[in-house]
Structure 1
Amino acid sequence: MKRMIAFAGVLLLALAGPAAAAEIGDDGLHKEDWFSITFKDVAEDIETAADEGKRLVLIFEQRGCIYCRAMHEQILSDPEVSDFIKANFKVVQYNMFGDEEVTDLDGDVLTEKTAARKWGYVFTPTIVFLPEEAPEGVSVAEAAVATMPGAFGKWTFLNMFRWVHEKGYEGDEHFQKYHARIINELREAGRLDAE
């Protein structure tokens, strides 16, 4: 039992990484200055993203989430990752337990926490990729082209954004096969960081 507890502690420290000074908002969530602040009307946000030549991504986080902190400090702080996301996606942050008003694609007006429940999101971070055009009469969960529940390393994280950007969900190459192919290409090029 002691070994299991010690292992869990080491794993948590490894996931949390070095304690960097991350900006924390009043809601307790880590903030990126390039995240978009909107009225959280998902159809409107999809349209605004499209007008900017981007895709909409919703990211669910919660206060005190060590995986969210690791994502901000280790993944989103990497210019290769953040530059790609900023160039191609409009990111709107949601608080898994927040009370801000959200308008779902089907017209339901909810709070962030009831939206998370309705859409079935239970892990933080959860990253939700929306289609290029807002469909009518369906929820966000039904409209999402991909969902990334939980925290991952740099290449899995970045490759998911690339796969969605390339509309891999419309093709025959499943994300896992796409990711394996990219990892092999990175390995052959000598660019592979520890994943």
Structure 2
Amino acid sequence: MRILMAAALAAVTALPSLPVRASEMGDDGLYKAPWMRDTFKDLREDLAEANAEGKRLVLFVEQRGCIYCHKMHEEVFSLPDVSEYIGENYFVVQINLHGDTEVIDFDGESLSEKAATQKWRVLFTPNIIFLPEEVPENQSAIEAAVAVMPGAFAKGTTLDMFTWVAEKRYTLDNGEDFQRYHARRIRERNDGTFD
């Protein structure tokens, strides 16, 4: 009995971190993560609210039936360290690639979600658009973006991208392009110097 209990305890402690509550499916067929915000999709207002909370604004463009969105929500965004990092550092607004909800872009143009995503040249989902803390009035979201993450990626790449943006590595002062940053983080994880 003692051997079985010791084996069970060893098995439990050897498990990787278990996912947090998985995203739920909304009426629109899109996954709804606990850290996503339900806003009026006036991006200037969303940016102001994100800044007031000390967070970065990020747009998640997704679509119903997207197998890659499913993969990200079930296998990556549900991991505790990824979910916590996004929730603590980002103000996330979801945009439906084929949606009809009105979006007011930073340049003041009011259009449907599907027209906005066409304007932003989004072809694939998921497509994650990271915004700066200040956007000039004449720029659209895609023109102002500091980074875009098109497609589904594993935990390490995803967390590294969110961290790279949060640390403002894209600026000249902190200049470390994402590829070098990501390669360094992979080495650190492999060396055991970084979780």
TM normalised by structure 1 equals: 0.85
Aligned residue identity for 1:166: E
d(CA) in 1 for partners of 2:141, 2:181: 25
Q: Which residue number corresponds to residue 111 of structure 1?
A: 112
CA positional deviation for 1:57 = 0.4
CA positional deviation for 1:167 = 0.2
Give the unaligned 5+ runs of structure 2: 1-20
d(CA) in 2 for partners of 1:115, 1:100: 10
d(CA) in 1 for partners of 2:165, 2:156: 14
Q: Which residue number corresponds to residue 15 of structure 1?
A: none
Instruction: Between 31-40 and 179-188, report the one with greater CA deviation.
Output: 31-40
Give the unaligned 5+ runs of structure 1: 1-19
What SS does the aligned partner of 1:185 have? helix
2:186 to 180, 183, 189: 183
d(CA) in 1 for partners of 2:96, 2:88: 24
Superposed, 1:72-91 pairs within 5 Å as 72-91=73-92
Q: Structure 1 stretches (4+) deviating beyond 2 angstroms?
A: none
8 Å contact 1:106–1:136 — kept in the other structure? Answer: yes
| Deviations, residues 46-80 of structure 1 (Å, cap 9, x unaligned) | 11000001000000000000100010001110011
8 Å contact 2:58–2:128 — kept in the other structure? Answer: yes
Q: Does 1:56 align with 2:77?
A: no
Aligned residue identity for 2:184: R
CA positional deviation for 1:23 = 1.6
Superposed, 1:121-132 pairs within 5 Å as 121-132=122-133
Identical positions, percent? 57
Q: Which residue number corresponds to residue 162 of structure 2?
A: 161
Superposed, 1:15-94 pairs within 5 Å as 22-94=23-95
d(CA) in 1 for partners of 2:25, 2:88: 24
Aligned residue identity for 1:116: T
Alignment root-mean-square deviation, CA: 1.5
d(CA) in 2 for partners of 1:190, 1:51: 34
CA positional deviation for 1:172 = 2.6
| Number of matched pairs | 173
CA positional deviation for 1:173 = 1.1
Superposed, 1:136-175 pairs within 5 Å as 136-170=137-171, 171-175=174-178
d(CA) in 2 for partners of 1:79, 1:21: 10
d(CA) in 2 for partners of 1:172, 1:34: 29
CA positional deviation for 1:134 = 2.9
8 Å contact 1:47–1:134 — kept in the other structure? Answer: no
d(CA) in 1 for partners of 2:90, 2:22: 25
